[in-house]
Amino acid sequence: MTQEEIAKQLENFGNRLKQIRKQKGYTNYEHFAYKHGFNRVQYGRYENGANISFKTLVKIVDAFDMTLEEFFSEGFTKISD
């Protein structure tokens, strides 16, 4: 996988975070981050495609009241074989 492909997947990840946050009724990422105990600046970076640790991913998905399978069920495509 190239760096460009990785960057695209991180962009997809950020878009998925944003989509779910809005579906959960949070129009502002800072309100979601504050309510669930995440650093607001860092959470904003995740929505903009910053790399994330698995531990943090699990915490965010849990805050969305979802499973990892549900989180990754939309918004991602296979880029290369």
| Other CB atoms within 10 Å distance of the CB of residue 25 | 8
| Other CB atoms within 10 Å distance of the CB of residue 17 | 25
Tokens 């760096």 sit on residue:
3
| pLDDT at 79 (0 to 100) | 63
| pLDDT at 75 (0 to 100) | 79
What CATH number should be reported for the domain whose range is 3-71? Answer: 1.10.260.40
Residues 55-79: tens digit of each pLDDT: 999 999 999 999 999 999 887 776 6
Residues 8-57: tens digit of each pLDDT: 999 999 999 999 999 999 999 999 999 999 999 999 999 999 999 999 99
Model confidence, pTM: 0.87
